[in-house]
């Protein structure tokens, strides 16, 4: 909402006709959408709608059966996760993925070292590298005080923030967040998403996130994409989606139960 609407000429992410099947299950069937710089776009839908499958194709964890995924005009469909990351896509996972044997700061340093291409250095001490930059990122997400704690012992909400700092380390143009607030307390949810929205508007990062909590979606998303059983059901500004009778029928529960399942 607060986005200063940067020139919407070319979208950061353009997805066209994306499809993936597992055996006979058509998880995603021909989905198309775009995400623009500085915008928060929510991908929602009931369980089994194909959100995570979509996400895993965007992040490279799954190879699409067909369709185009263009990042700033460059096709990334079928690339590996690490190649996609190098092209400027940060990612957080539904179940937080961090390095438990490292401190919070070292987790972020790891991403910074990798971004600088410094992994293949066997003789220099890693702890000294990019320490200041790591602390700056941690300050941004409010985790600086806990920088020296082990990731294995953090509270879940804090882990999510560490993951966000890690995902931002390579200054991505696109941030993919799968269920960023799952398992968090309500107040933490609002704080994390407000933080994300602020970062998006300040840096012009395009953010695509999946979310179950409709309060979070309608409070923070500039635009909402609704999936249902692998198909695109609706797409538009949050307020329009909230009013869409079709969306209400299959998803939000307007009192009428959709037939067929």
Partner 1 sequence: MLDLILTQTLNGLASASSLFLVASGLSIIFGVTRIVNFAHGSLYMLGAYLGWTLVAWLGPASPLGFWGGVVLAALLVAGIGALIEIAILRRIYPAPELFQLLATFGVVLMIQDIALAVWGPEDKLGPRAPGFRSFVILFDSRFPSYELLLIAIGPAVLALLWFLFRKTRWGTLVRAATQDREMVGALGVNQRLLFTSVFAFGAGLAGLGGALQLPREAATLHMDLSMIAEVFVVVVVGGLGSVAGAYLAAVLIGVLHAFGILIFPKITLVLVFLVMAVVLVVKPYGLLGRRPAGQPRATAVEPLLRPADRATKRAGLLALLLLAALPLAAPDSLLLILTELLIFTLFAASLHFMMGPGGLASFGHAAYFGLGAYGAALAVKWLGAPMEPALLFAPFLAGIAGVVFGWFCVRLSGVYLAMLTLAFAQIAWATAFQWVELTGGDNGILGVWPSAWAVSKTAFYYLALAICAACVLLLRVMIFSPLGYGLRAARDNALRAEAIGIDTMRVQWAAFAIAALAAGVAGGLFAFFKGSVFPTYLAIPRSVDALLMVLLGGVQTVSGPIVGAFAYAGLSEQLAKLTLYWRFALGLAIVLLVMLFPRGLVGGFLAWRERLGPGAGAR
Which residues contact partner 1 (rule: CB under 8 A)?
59, 61, 80-82, 85-86, 91, 93, 97-103, 106, 109-111, 113-115, 118-127, 129, 148-150, 152, 166, 169-170
- With 0-12 CB in 10 A as exposed, 13-18 as middle and 19+ as buried, what is 16? middle
Q: Is the Cβ–Cβ distance between 134 and 108 less than 8 Å?
A: yes
DSSP 121: -
Residue whose CB is less far from partner 1, 21 or 94: 94
d(CA 178, CA 16): 20
Residue whose CB is less far from partner 1, 14 or 176: 176
* Minimum CB–partner distance for residue 236 and partner 1 (Å): 30
* Minimum CB–partner distance for residue 42 and partner 1 (Å): 21
Residue whose CB is less far from partner 1, 149 or 248: 149
Q: Is the Cβ–Cβ distance between 74 and 87 less than 8 Å?
A: yes
Residue whose CB is less far from partner 1, 29 or 109: 109
* Minimum CB–partner distance for residue 120 and partner 1 (Å): 6
d(CA 229, CA 227): 7
* Minimum CB–partner distance for residue 26 and partner 1 (Å): 22
Cα within 13 Å of Cα(184), Cβ side:
26
The H or E element spanning position 220 is helix 214-220
d(CA 42, CA 207): 8
Residue whose CB is less far from partner 1, 56 or 201: 56
* Minimum CB–partner distance for residue 124 and partner 1 (Å): 6
In the chain, what is the straight-line distance between the N-terminal and C-terminal CA atoms, in Å?
Answer: 36
Distance of CA 166 to the CA centre of its chain: 12
Q: Is the Cβ–Cβ distance between 38 and 223 less than 8 Å?
A: no
* Minimum CB–partner distance for residue 61 and partner 1 (Å): 8
* Minimum CB–partner distance for residue 190 and partner 1 (Å): 26
d(CA 258, CA 8): 36
d(CA 181, CA 131): 28
Residue whose CB is less far from partner 1, 150 or 252: 150
Residue whose CB is less far from partner 1, 126 or 214: 126
């Amino acid at each position: 909402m607060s986005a200063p609407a940067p020139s919407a000429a070319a979208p950061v992410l353009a997805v066209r006709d994306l499809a993936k099947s597992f055996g006979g299950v058509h998880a995603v069937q021909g989905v198309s959408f775009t995400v623009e710089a500085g915008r928060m776009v929510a991908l929602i839908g009931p369980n089994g709608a194909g959100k995570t499958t979509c996400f895993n194709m965007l992040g490279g964890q799954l190879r699409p059966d067909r369709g185009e995924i263009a990042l700033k005009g460059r096709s990334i469909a079928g690339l590996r996760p690490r190649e996609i990351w190098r092209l400027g896509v940060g990612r957080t996972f539904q179940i937080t993925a961090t390095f438990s044997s490292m401190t919070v700061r070292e987790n972020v340093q790891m991403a910074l070292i990798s971004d600088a291409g410094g992994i293949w250095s066997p003789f220099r001490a890693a702890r000294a590298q990019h320490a200041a930059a790591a602390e700056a990122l941690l300050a941004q997400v409010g985790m600086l005080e806990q920088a020296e704690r082990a990731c294995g012992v953090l509270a879940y909400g804090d882990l999510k923030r560490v993951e966000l700092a890690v995902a931002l380390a390579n200054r991505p143009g696109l941030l993919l967040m799968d269920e960023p607030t799952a398992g968090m307390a309500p107040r933490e949810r609002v704080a994390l998403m407000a933080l994300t929205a602020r970062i998006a508007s300040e840096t012009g990062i395009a953010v695509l996130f999946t979310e179950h909590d409709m309060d979070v979606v309608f409070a923070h998303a500039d635009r909402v994409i609704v999936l249902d059983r692998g198909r695109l059901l609706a797409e538009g500004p949050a307020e329009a989606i909230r009013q869409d009778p079709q969306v209400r029928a299959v998803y939000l529960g307007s009192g009428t139960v959709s037939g067929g399942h």
